[in-house]
Amino acid sequence: MDIPRPEHPNPQFEREQWRNLNGAWSYTFDFGRSGTERGLAAATGFDDEILVPFCPESPLSGVGHTDFIEAMWYHRKLDIPAEWQGQTVLLHFGGVDYLSEAFVDGRLAGRHWGGTSSFCHDITPLVRAGRTHDLVVHVRDEVRSGRQPAGKQSSKFASAGCRYTRTTGIWQTVWLEAVAPLALASVHIVPDLDGARFIITPRFRAVRDGLSLAVTLTDDGRAAARVAGPAVNGLPCVVPVENPRAWSPQSPHLYGLTLAVTDGETPVDRVKSYAGLRKVHVDGNRVLLNNEPIYLRLVLDQGFYPDGIWTAPSDAALRRDIELSLAAGFNGARLHQKVFEERFHYWADTLGYLTWGESASWGADVTEPVAARNFLGEWREIVVRDRNHPSIVAWSPFNETRNVGDGLQHNRLHLDAYELTRALDPTRPVNDASGYVHVRTDLYTVHNYQQDPAKLKEILTPKPDTGVYRNHPDHDAAYGGQPYILDEFGGIKWIAEGHKHADTSWGYGEGPTSLDAFYQRLEGQVRAIRELEHIAGFCYTQLTDVEQEQNGLYNFDRTEKFDTGRIAAIFRA
pLDDT of 312-351, one tens digit each?
999 999 999 999 999 999 999 999 999 999 999 999 999 9
Query: Lowest-pLDDT range, 386-395, 449-458, 506-515?
Result: 506-515
Q: Is the pLDDT of residue 207 over 80?
A: yes
pLDDT of residue 424: 98
Residues 526 and 516: beta-carbon distance below 8 Å: no
Average confidence score pLDDT of the chain: 96
Q: Say yes or no to pLDDT of 500 above 90.
A: no
How many CA atoms does the CB half-sphere of 292 hold within 13 Å? 7
In the chain the domains, ranked by start, together with CATH numbers, are 18-179 (2.60.120.260), 184-275 (2.60.40.10), 280-572 (3.20.20.80)
* Residue 210 neighbours by CB distance under 10 Å: 12
pLDDT-derived band of residue 503, with 50, 70 and 90 as boundaries? confident
Q: CA-to-CA distance for 158 and 141, rounded, in angstroms? A: 17
CB of 184 within 8 A of CB of 405?
no
Model pLDDT, residue 501: 73
Report pLDDT for 546. Answer: 96
Percentage of residues of the chain with pLDDT beyond 90 = 96
Cβ atoms of residues 472 and 436 within 8 Å: yes
pLDDT digits (tens, 9 = 90+) for 533-569: 999 999 999 999 999 999 999 999 999 999 999 999 9
What does the pLDDT read at residue 530? 97
Mean pLDDT of all residues in 183-203: 98
**The amino acid at 169:** G
C-alpha 56, offset from chain centre: 21
Task: Give the residue among 558, 571, 419, 425 at the shortest CA–CA distance from 489.
Answer: 571
Q: What is the mean pLDDT of residues 79-99?
A: 97
Structure confidence at residue 330 (pLDDT): 98
d(CA 335, CA 327) in angstroms, rounded, equals 17
Count of residues for the chain? 573
CA dihedral for 501, 503, 507, 511, sign (positive or negative): positive
Q: Give bridge partners of residue 178 from the DSSP assignment.
A: 89
Write phi, then psi, for 297 (nearest 5 degrees): -110, 85
Over residues 169-187, the mean pLDDT reads 97
The whole-model pTM stands at: 0.97
Give all strands (DSSP E) within 404-547, no chain letters. 433-434, 444-447, 484-490, 535-541
Does the pLDDT value for residue 497 go beyond 90?
no
- Structure confidence at residue 483 (pLDDT): 98
Q: Is the pLDDT of residue 155 over 90?
A: yes
Of 386-395, 502-511, 551-560, the one with minimum mean pLDDT is: 502-511
Indicate the range of 257-271, 462-476, 492-506 predicted with least confidence.
492-506
The pLDDT score that the predictor gives to residue 402 is: 84
Confidence of residue 407 (pLDDT cuts 50, 70, 90): confident
Per DSSP, the three-state class of 179 is strand
Cα–Cα distance, 62 to 69 (Å, whole number): 16
Question: Given a cut of 90, is residue 200 above it in pLDDT?
Answer: yes
State the pLDDT confidence band at 406, using cuts at 50, 70 and 90: confident
Q: What is the DSSP string of 69-98?
A: -SEEEEEEEEEPPGGGTTSEEEEEES-EES
Instruction: Kindly give, in sequence order, each residue whose CB lies less than 8 Å from that of residue 408, ignoring residues fewer than 6 positions away.
Output: none
Average pLDDT over residues 36-50: 98
- pLDDT tens digits, residue range 341-386? 999 999 999 999 999 999 999 999 988 999 999 999 999 999 999 9
**Contact yes or no for 118/172 (Cβ under 8 A):** yes
Residue-by-residue DSSP string for 133-146: EEEEEEEE--GGGS
pLDDT in tens, 66-87: 999 999 999 999 999 999 999 9
CA distances from 404 to 220, 363, 436, 474 (A): 53, 15, 12, 12
The pLDDT assigned to 405 comes to: 73
d(CA 375, CA 570) in angstroms, rounded, equals 38
Asked whether the predicted pLDDT for residue 1 surpasses 80, the reply is no
Q: Which residues pair with 51 in a beta bridge?
A: 24
Tens of pLDDT, residue by residue over 256-286, are 999 999 999 899 999 999 999 999 999 999 9
- What average pLDDT score do residues 499-507 get? 82
Work out the burial of residue 378: count CB atoms within 10 Å of its CB; fewer than 13 is exposed, 13-18 middle, 19 or more buried: buried
Asked if 545 and 556 touch (Cβ cutoff 8 Å), the reply is: yes
